[in-house]
Amino acid sequence: MKIGIVGLPNVGKSTIFNALTKAGAESANYPFCTIDPNVGVVAVPDERIEVLGKMYNTKKVTPTTIEFVDIAGLVKGASKGEGLGNQFLAHIREVDAVAHVVRCFEDENVVHVSGKINPFDDLETIDLELILADLEMIDRRIEKTRKAAKADKSKRHSLELLENVKAALESGKRPNPEEYSEDDWRFISGLQMICTKPVFYIANVSEDDINEDNAFVSELKAKVAPAEVIKISAKIEEELSTLDDEERDAFLEELGLETSGLDRVIHVAYRLLGLISFLTAGPDECRAWTVKKGTKAPQAAGKIHSDIERGFIRAEITTYDDLIAAGSEAKAREMGITRIEGKDYVMQDGDVTFFRFNV
């Protein structure tokens, strides 16, 4: 899973990226300090594999991961090459979801690219540039498809869809999947438009505003509803990233926070993208694997190795909670709570799974 972090220059994107990934991307108090997209891979917190690791006395515990891409700050005119140019818009097309960082704090020592703090204007600037970038791409696709449709009538429906999408973008709207058939939306999704990617918002606030919404955050939530807004203090997350687990938990408790910003970002991203984790466990390794909701057992097996999917026979599954209650794999089998599932079984979050296969 790849999450692109976008926003205007100097809103705290790189500071948040550093805190989330501990990757040490350059962060400075001036626009455009991020010249190339920084990439950081972090483990997805999942205490279930830690518990399983102790149960199986395993040699290795391997969490699933999430990839963050810190994309250079976009400015008005970015789609036409302003600032660092539209080269960075191409990086956004490669991500699965977009985290839009919006500055929601006052600090005269941190410059704002437009000279004032206004979340509404910031959103308008970024959204417009993303729409303009998509329009430019759609125009090229329409021209190509129109030529093809003259010789191939089957291309006419694709041309109609492209023109429909263009009309929506020109009116400032993102294409809505509910307005299209499943096949039509599959075609539109394949265009890799930025505007069709799931998006959530990160409100970067001061330490003093972490527990209550300030006026900027309230305005942001009203503007983007029903999209989710995660409130994060970049400075707090930066400090949390330097602490060990025990110190981190104590600091969060002192602040009145239940989870870190990273945990909240991952939780929202999983929900937006419709992801779940199934688990494998044994004396050699306990591991979490990420798949889309609705994934069937053979395709889940393919996440581990293509040979397991190709030679799939059955899946032996114990729900995590049932396994923990039983106390051991052997006891779970004895109690009859380990199930045998076939090729049509749809994987569920927390399935502790052993795949039988033959190649």
Among the four given CATH numbers 1.10.510.10, 3.30.380.10, 3.40.720.10, 3.40.50.300, the one describing domain 2-45+64-118+197-271: 3.40.50.300
Q: What SS3 state is found at 329?
A: helix
Q: How far apart are CA 99 and CA 101, in angstroms?
A: 6
What pLDDT score was predicted for residue 112? 53
Q: How far apart are CA 29 and CA 112, in angstroms?
A: 9
What pLDDT score was predicted for residue 87? 56
Percent of the chain at pLDDT > 90 equals 44
Percent of the chain at pLDDT > 70 equals 87
What pLDDT score was predicted for residue 241? 83
Whether residue 34 is predicted with pLDDT greater than 70 in this model: the reply is no
* pLDDT average, residue stretch 5-9: 83
What pLDDT score was predicted for residue 30? 40
- DSSP H or E segment with residue 193: none
Go through 302-333 and write b for each residue having 16 or more CB atoms within 10 A of its CB, e for each that does not.
bbbeeebbeebebbebbbbebbbebeebeebe
Give the residue extent of every domain in the chain.
Answer: 2-45+64-118+197-271, 128-193, 294-357
What pLDDT score was predicted for residue 72? 66
pLDDT band at 130 (very low <50, low <70, confident <90, very high): confident
The answer to whether domain 294-357 has CATH 3.10.20.30 is: yes
Q: Which has more confidence, 318 or 210?
A: 318
Q: Which has more confidence, 149 or 350?
A: 350
- The hierarchical CATH code for the domain 128-193 is 1.10.150.300
- Show the DSSP H helices in the chain as ranges: 13-21, 47-56, 87-92, 119-151, 156-170, 182-189, 215-224, 234-240, 245-255, 261-273, 297-304, 306-310, 320-326, 329-335
What pLDDT score was predicted for residue 342? 96
Tokens of 118: 């206004």
Whether residue 29 is predicted with pLDDT greater than 80 in this model: the reply is no
Per-residue pLDDT reduced to its tens digit, 146-199: 999 888 888 899 999 999 999 999 988 888 888 899 999 999 988 888 888 899
Rg (CA), the chain: 23
Q: Which has more confidence, 318 or 73?
A: 318
What pLDDT score was predicted for residue 78? 45
